[in-house]
């Protein structure tokens, strides 16, 4: 089936919004096309009084150089959350289509599905939080999902999905396979970026919110084939990435060595924190992690969660997620932050 046939019919035939700058390449002498202010009232290193580039071209060039994701295949979103929402809006007919998730996984997939009135089916992960490939294939056969989400490393379990499994599912699935690599920088698993070039039904997602330290700038990235790229460009808000955000993102991408050093520090801290947690009398199990957080089974998640909160320490209570009874998800902080957590835990 062609990619266009998988899309909502109204999206495949959309007459998209275009601005004058879509029809103009280069730098003009005078811009009188967008009813902007001719002057600025604040100091900013750039044209803050102008609308930003709808294509985020400079940012995408830096993303290609630093992250190795091809310029022609990338779209930048207001966080990868925007990309997820776009995928539902492009591919899923409300009240009719479905998506397939592995469970437990990132909660926003389900929320965006609900907002778009899309049914969600869940293929539970095994007890070790591995993807149950035969079950996923069976559910693909039975439910014909428009979107299959594979989160690797997975939130909240922390483990990565082996590349070969992603490839196997993406090849089997005749709908769209979305590979969410939000935490990829912390893992050693091969990226699915190569797969996007082999299989036009695969969409890769990355974000600058985690390893790159830019959660507040809201920069998510999709890498996808031409027809999906075109639809995403047409459906996203025309000026979805503000100049302040792209300016700061360019600075971070120019500072990749510091980011890589930070990632190494976080990985070392992750393993130190694991060691400390494993010695705690309140901890039952610390799950393996390829990300910047640990899923930790404790004696009583609800009471420990609230007691830590009272001491000013906020972790994520995941105990109501599928197969996560009594589990807390703990982000790896700085050494000082992790030590404060451990001190508070021992004082309970």
> Does the footprint of ligand PMP cover residue 151 (CB under 6 A)?
yes
Q: Kindly indicate which of the ranges 19-27, 78-86, 160-168, 319-327 contains the residues binding ligand PMP, using the contact rule CB under 6 A.
A: 78-86
Measured from the CB atom, the residue of 180 and 345 that comes closer to ligand PMP is 180
Residue number with the smallest Cβ distance to ligand PMP = 79
What x/- string results for residues 166 through 185 when contact with ligand PMP is judged by CB under 6 A?
Answer: --------------x-x---
Residue 66: CB minimum distance to ligand PMP, A: 17
> Does the footprint of ligand PMP cover residue 209 (CB under 6 A)?
yes
Residue 213: CB minimum distance to ligand PMP, A: 12
> Does the footprint of ligand PMP cover residue 81 (CB under 6 A)?
yes
In three state form, how does the secondary structure of the chain look? CCHHHHCCHHHHCCCCCCCHHHHCCCCCCCCCCCCCCCCCCCCCCCCCCCCCCCCCHHHHHHHHHHHCCCHHHEEEEEHHHHHHHHHHHHHCCCCCCEEEEEECCCCHHHHHHHHCCCEEEEEECCCCCCCCHHHHHHHHHHHCCCEEEEECCCCCCCCCCCHHHHHHHHHHCCCEEEEECCCHHHCCCCCCHHHHHHCCCEEEEEECCCCCCCHHHCEEEEECCHHHHHHHHHHCCCCCCCHHHHHHHHHHHCCHHHHHHHHHHHHHHHHHHHHHHHHCCCEEEECCCCCCEEEEEECCHHHHHHHHHHCCCCCEECCCCCCCCCEEEEECCCHHHHHHHHHHHHHC
Q: Which of 155, 187, 289, 292 binds ligand PMP (CB under 6 A)?
A: 155
Measured from the CB atom, the residue of 81 and 321 that comes closer to ligand PMP is 81
> Does the footprint of ligand PMP cover residue 103 (CB under 6 A)?
no
> Does the footprint of ligand PMP cover residue 289 (CB under 6 A)?
no
> Does the footprint of ligand PMP cover residue 246 (CB under 6 A)?
no
Q: Kindly indicate which of the ranges 16-24, 34-42, 66-74, 75-83 contains the residues binding ligand PMP, using the contact rule CB under 6 A.
A: 75-83
Binding residues for ligand PMP, rule: CB under 6 A, are 79-81, 106, 151, 155, 180, 182, 207, 209, 215, 220
């Amino acid at each position: 089936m062609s990619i266009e046939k998988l899309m909502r019919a109204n999206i495949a035939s959309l007459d998209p919004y275009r601005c004058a700058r879509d029809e103009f390449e280069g730098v003009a002498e005078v811009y009188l096309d967008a009813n902007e202010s001719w002057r600025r009232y604040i100091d900013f290193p750039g044209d803050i009084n102008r609308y930003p580039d709808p294509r985020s071209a400079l940012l995408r060039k830096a993303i290609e150089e630093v992250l190795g994701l091809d310029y022609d295949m990338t779209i930048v979103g207001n966080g990868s959350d925007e990309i997820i929402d776009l995928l539902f809006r492009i591919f899923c007919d409300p009240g009719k289509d479905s998506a397939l998730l592995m469970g437990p996984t990132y909660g926003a997939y389900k929320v965006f599905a609900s907002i778009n009135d899309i049914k969600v089916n869940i293929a539970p992960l095994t007890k070790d939080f591995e993807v149950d490939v035969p079950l996923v294939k069976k559910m693909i056969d039975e439910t014909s999902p428009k979107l299959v989400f594979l989160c690797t490393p997975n939130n909240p379990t922390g483990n990565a999905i082996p590349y070969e499994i992603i490839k196997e599912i993406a090849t089997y699935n005749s709908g769209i396979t979305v590979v969410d690599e939000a935490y990829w920088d912390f893992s050693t698993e091969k990226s699915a970026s190569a797969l996007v070039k082999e299989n036009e039904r695969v969409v890769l997602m990355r974000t600058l919110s985690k390893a790159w330290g830019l959660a507040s700038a809201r920069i998510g990235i999709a890498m996808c084939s031409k027809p999906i790229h075109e639809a995403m460009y047409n459906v996203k808000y025309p000026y979805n990435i503000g100049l302040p955000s792209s300016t700061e993102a360019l600075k971070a991408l120019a500072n990749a060595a510091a980011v890589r050093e930070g990632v190494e520090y976080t990985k070392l801290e992750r393993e130190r924190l694991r060691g400390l947690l494993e010695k705690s009398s309140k901890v039952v199990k610390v799950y393996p992690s390829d990300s910047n957080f640990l899923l930790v089974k404790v004696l009583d998640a609800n009471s420990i969660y609230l007691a830590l909160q009272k001491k000013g320490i906020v972790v994520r209570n995941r105990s109501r997620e599928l197969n996560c009874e009594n589990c807390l998800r703990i982000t790896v902080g700085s050494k000082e932050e992790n030590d404060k957590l451990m001190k508070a835990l021992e004082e309970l």
